[in-house]
Chains A and B, each alone.
Chain A
């Protein structure tokens, strides 16, 4: 059955306005409540964080005072640490030529001797004499193939080889020059020490 609204037009519009007012009131109350809660929550959080800040600042201040009371120890440790760090770096990276020479001596066949030896950084070169070509081959083989030689040198090159008369014995000997690349201290040094 059709509903018949007999209310006058003015009455209808004032009821609509009333409904809108109610809705707006509800919304405004909701917004007010949300804002109030947010405000209180923010202020509580702010206050607690401020308290935390004050607490941490006190901790920092107390610890700073205590650190300052140990200033002498800190200065001593800083100086010792700096110098020890430099010394450690330098000693770790330095090549000990005496160790290299001693190691080379153990790898040399008895019928080979050096006329001179130069070590410049990681490059080592020598001119030597050998009784026979087999001695030259043995020397190079020891440098290149033996375990100890591999730990000591990364590359070995014979720069020249000739047979000459040895002035001390007047015998025919092999004169040759060899250049080697010494492993860096970390690789060779540690192994040399061991």
Chain B
């Protein structure tokens, strides 16, 4: 807080102030405040009602993150006493997919089913969502922080001229009825709670695998198939090819289990140890920056600041010392296992289970133990 100094009986703020707001929280006397953010007409805000979840349609099925979002959306809608809606865009959408969304808490599913929506494009998807929002006016709109959500939802927010909070890990409704959006920043080293007081809808993307999907078998809901103007389906982008990654061990952001290797493996060939364990757990193979820079693994496997940010159920760091740049890319994982020879390696600071051992002995022993359980 170097921008604050005490002058003659008053606080002076220098030009170094970035208006980050940390001082407002830190001041015990409540003497500090920030200027207010942009205001809109209040009566306009009240005309927005309902919570919406953007349901992600991929290769003919709804992605898990949509079920997670509906479950948290259900809680928010109940607190607000409003309806929970789901928006499903795609082509050849069957009613069964919609009923599944209802079973996770949606009271209404708005479907836009057009051949032009078969492949994802930011322009078409954002125009459709904007059109639906303008017609129905939900107060909250949530989407998964996936490669699709994080790409087109900023365009939706900008076209609607409203705020958007990225990659939230916690959502709640405040006493004043506003959506409290909590997210990590600086690679998870600080958390910030953010509001969008004067614009609607309040929009957030939500990190996958953080919220728990809850199925409600008795839930009733309706399906509304929507006709939108042709302009919504025009785009200046052409999708030439969609190539699905065949190697399941390379799909890092989708994996429930990731086994990552670092320089402790000594050479690229030894990554076979990591690959065997990952395959056994049905997981993906990650790598530290060091391992990628030495050419042992392709850059698409890199976990960390300049690689992928991952938050699987289980993350195993094998022979990785744990530089800050690596930690920020994986410390959101639920269970972290660190295997390293050096008991002082920083990776142990974030580990749930620490194994100080020679990885060349430990990993084969762990693999044998799993195989024994399965009787192979």
Q: Is A bound to B? A: no
Chain B interface residues (CB < 8 Å from chain A): none
